[in-house]
Amino acid sequence: MANRSVFAAELSWPDYHAAVKNGETAILIPLGSMEQHGHHMPMHVDVLLPTEFARRVAGQIDGLVAPAFTYGYKSQQKCGGGNHIPGTTSLDGATLVNALRDVIKEFARHGNRQFAIINGHYENSWFITEAVDLALRELRWDGIASVKVVVLSYWDFVAAETIEKLYPDGFPGWAVEHGGVLETSLMLALYPDLVQLDRAVDHPPAVFPPYDVYPVKPEWTPPSGTLSSPKQASREKGEILLKVCADGISLALKNELNTAPSATRVAAAR
């Protein structure tokens, strides 16, 4: 019996080839980072979360999940605490662009024509755009013009009404949500054994001036590494976020890609 895993790397090559050779199977590529997430969470949060969203969505659209990118672009002080904090391990922008470009082209060589990049690390955003642009251009040079790529970040599917439920005392803004309620709640719902909420540092949202300085000024970043307090995080909030984001991503990909759910793979993804 063929392996029905939604993770491409878990398939044998004949099973993988059978699934992708017609170009109709969407390939979901999670992009994360190794970045500090405060005293209470591990440094691969940005890998775990997009990979889980990709897994859930793949079962709904008959897609396959590619191995995740575990390193991302350099943490920026105003949205990730800064690349100066121990443990954060990053790539130069050109390295990330070239690696993602190559991976897209390789999957296209296998016959894949539909892709979704599931981003879990804000700083990756513009480098994803560059990688996709270069990959599509080079594929056109090779006579392959039918490739389509959807690029998204899971937090963009959190609508205003959900934000009101999660932040009854006011929303600090996505820029300072690093290691805060959103990521901590998702981790409590998915990987509670990796969260030590008793070690979370409660502090007001970080405040930055309207400019950047390089080298960074470490004193701008709260000592905890988080940019807002995770103390109001909960498993219940995480469950809300899981459904809202997974449903939103699934609908977006069904709208944009030529996908049809498969009963066998949906069952395997559960």
Tell me which of 3.40.50.2300, 3.40.50.10310, 3.30.70.20, 3.30.2010.20 is the CATH number of domain 8-261: 3.40.50.10310
165-211, pLDDT tens digit by residue? 899 988 999 989 999 999 999 999 999 999 999 999 999 999 999 99
Does residue 262 surpass a pLDDT of 60?
no
Under a CB-based contact definition with an 8 Å cutoff, are residues 68 and 108 in contact?
A: no
214 Cβ contact partners less than 8 Å away, ≥ 6 residues apart: none
Q: Is 178 a known active-site residue?
A: yes
- Indicate which residue of 40, 44, 62, 123 is catalytic: 123
- Indicate which residue of 37, 40, 44, 52 is catalytic: 37
d(CA 51, CA 30): 5
Q: Is 35 a known active-site residue?
A: yes
Q: Is 37 a known active-site residue?
A: yes
- Per-residue confidence band for 268, with pLDDT thresholds at 50, 70 and 90: very low
Q: Is 39 a known active-site residue?
A: no
Does residue 86 surpass a pLDDT of 80?
yes
- Indicate which residue of 40, 46, 52, 177 is catalytic: 46
Lowest mean pLDDT among 86-90, 99-103, 156-160, 173-177: 173-177
Mean pLDDT for the stretch of residues 60-79: 97
- Indicate which residue of 35, 52, 62, 177 is catalytic: 35
- Indicate which residue of 92, 121, 142, 256 is catalytic: 121
Crossing angle of the two packed helices 93-109 and 125-141, in degrees rounded to 10: 40
Per-domain residue ranges for the chain?
Answer: 8-261
Under a CB-based contact definition with an 8 Å cutoff, are residues 25 and 115 in contact?
A: no
136-151, pLDDT tens digit by residue? 999 999 999 999 999 9
